Amino acid sequence: MIEYEIIIIIIIWILSIYFGLSSLYLFIFSFSSLFYQKKQYFESIDFQNFLILIPAYKEDNVIINTAKEALKQNYPSKFYDVYVIADSFKKPTIEELKRNKVNVLEVSFEKSTKAKAINKALSSIKNTYDAIIILDADNIMEKDFIKKINFSLSNGHKAIQAHRVAKNQNNSISVLDSISEEINNSIFRKGHSALSLSSALIGSGMAFEYHLYKNIMQSINSPADEDKELELKLFEGKNKVTYMEEAYVFDEKISSAKTFVNQRSRWIASQLYYAKRYFFKAFVKLFTQLNIELFDKLIQLIILPRIIMLGGLFAGSVLTFFFASSTLFYFWIASTIICYSAILLAIPKHFINKSTLKALLYLPYGFFLMLFSIFRFKKSRKQFNPTPHTSNNTMKND
Alpha carbon 295 to chain centroid, angstroms: 18
What kind and span of H or E run contains 116?
A: helix 114-124
What pLDDT was estimated at residue 323? Answer: 81
Contact 178, 362 (CB under 8 A): no
- Asked whether the predicted pLDDT for residue 2 surpasses 70, the reply is no
Mean pLDDT of 115-123: 93
Taking only the tens place, the pLDDT of each residue in 78-96 is 999 999 999 989 999 999 9
Mean pLDDT of 46-68: 93
Per the DSSP assignment, residues forming a β-bridge with 166 are 251
Characterize 172-195 residue by residue with b for buried, 16 or more Cβ atoms within 10 angstroms of its Cβ, and e for exposed. bbbbbbbbbbbbbbbbbbbbbbbe
| Confidence bin at 382 (pLDDT 50/70/90) | low
pTM greater than 0.85: yes
Contact 257, 173 (CB under 8 A): yes
Pairing of strands 206-209, 242-251: unpaired
- Asked whether the predicted pLDDT for residue 393 surpasses 60, the reply is no
For residue 40, the 8-state DSSP code is: P
Mean pLDDT of 277-296: 95
What pLDDT was estimated at residue 372? Answer: 67
What pLDDT was estimated at residue 190? Answer: 97
Mean pLDDT of 268-291: 92
Taking only the tens place, the pLDDT of each residue in 24-35 is 999 999 999 999
Taking only the tens place, the pLDDT of each residue in 171-211 is 777 888 888 899 999 999 999 999 999 999 999 999 999 99
- Domain borders along the chain are 2-36+265-381, 50-257
Contact 131, 53 (CB under 8 A): no
Contacts of residue 99, Cβ cutoff 8 Å, sequence gap at least 6: none
Distances in Å between the Cα of 160 and the Cα atoms of 99, 153, 183, 209 are 32, 8, 19, 9
- Higher pLDDT: 267 or 304? It is 304
- Higher pLDDT: 190 or 382? It is 190
Alpha carbon 70 to chain centroid, angstroms: 21
DSSP string, 209-241: EHHHHHHHHTT---SS-HHHHHHHHHHHTT---
> Mean pLDDT, the chain, as a whole number?
88
Topology given in CATH for the domain delimited by 50-257: Spore Coat Polysaccharide Biosynthesis Protein SpsA; Chain A (3.90.550)
Contact 57, 82 (CB under 8 A): no
Q: Could you give the CA distance from residue 237 to residue 219 in angstroms, rounded to a whole number?
A: 13
Mean pLDDT of 154-167: 93
Mean pLDDT of 93-121: 91
Mean pLDDT of 361-365: 72
Per the DSSP assignment, residues forming a β-bridge with 80 are 50
Taking only the tens place, the pLDDT of each residue in 5-44 is 778 888 889 999 999 999 999 999 999 999 998 877 667 6
